[in-house]
Amino acid sequence: MKGLPSLERAVVVLSRFPGVGPKSARRMVYHLLRRGDEAILDLVTALEGLRERIRPCERCHNLSEGALCWICSDPSRDQTRLCVVEEPSDLLAMEKAGLFRGVYHVLGGRLSPLDGIGPDALHLASLESRLQAGGFVELILATNPTVEGEATAHFVAQLAESVVARVTRLAHGVPMGGELEYLDESTLYQALIGRRNFRFDP
């Protein structure tokens, strides 16, 4: 808005969020200004909390408020199964599914040579130490099914195969509730490759 640099600045900063365009950012700013000082302070306090208290788990690089995250510090988790994910948000998605009771390793991204993200930019050294320390019977690759994610999975598999008995990856296939008609070819291709007996005994 003409003559209101601080308002415009807030709009610019808020529109850096994924899925927030300049229009929604402006609506957010008006919302804050209408709700007043307290609403802005609430947000500032919450942001300072993020900045000051959230740090990576020393073992798995998940988000944490202590030295170890809530998974690494939970003795009931199965310490013999390791699931490798790209980001903390992927870990959260896995946890929501609820089946996996093992522990995680968060890579902090995926290999992407074009963006200058090589193996050194990911938490691979600490993964290797954890694997070398032994004790894992299975490593589950849960990187994203993108070109970079697949490349990352291959890289991690090579690290793991000599030390872990079983290296697996998430199944690709038809998503629950999805319709074949609207599914992309490569997913259908993967679903066909991965087909299982109808009477399946897990």
138 phi/psi in degrees, rounded to 5: -145, 140
Selected range binding a second copy among 57-65, 97-105, 112-120, 193-201, rule: CB under 8 A? 57-65
Residue 95, Cβ neighbours under 10 Å: how many?
A: 15
Radius of gyration of the chain (CA): 21
- Identify which of residues 31 and 166 has a Cβ nearer to a second copy in the complex: 31
Site string for a second copy, 76-105 (x = CB under 8 A): -----------xxx--x-------------
Out of 61, 64, 131, 139, the residue judged to bind a second copy by CB under 8 A:
64
Selected range binding a second copy among 49-57, 97-105, 136-144, 183-191, rule: CB under 8 A? 49-57
Supply the minimum distance, in Å, between the C-beta of residue 189 and a second copy: 29
- Identify which of residues 64 and 152 has a Cβ nearer to a second copy in the complex: 64
- Identify which of residues 70 and 119 has a Cβ nearer to a second copy in the complex: 70
Give ∠ CA 34-35-39 in degrees, rounded to 5: 135
Binding flag, residue 54, a second copy (CB under 8 A): yes
The counts of H helices and E strands in the chain are 7, 6
DSSP notation for 129-198: HHHHT---SEEEE---SSHHHHHHHHHHHHHHTTT-SEEEEPPP-PPTT--GGGS-HHHHHHHHHT---S
DSSP state of 50: H
Cα–Cα dist 149/155, whole Å: 10
- 143 neighbors 152 (Cβ within 8 angstroms): yes
- Identify which of residues 1 and 192 has a Cβ nearer to a second copy in the complex: 1
Supply the minimum distance, in Å, between the C-beta of residue 142 and a second copy: 16
By CB under 8 A, name the binding residues for a second copy. 1-7, 9-10, 12-14, 16-20, 24, 26-34, 37, 39-44, 46-54, 63-66, 69-70, 87-89, 92
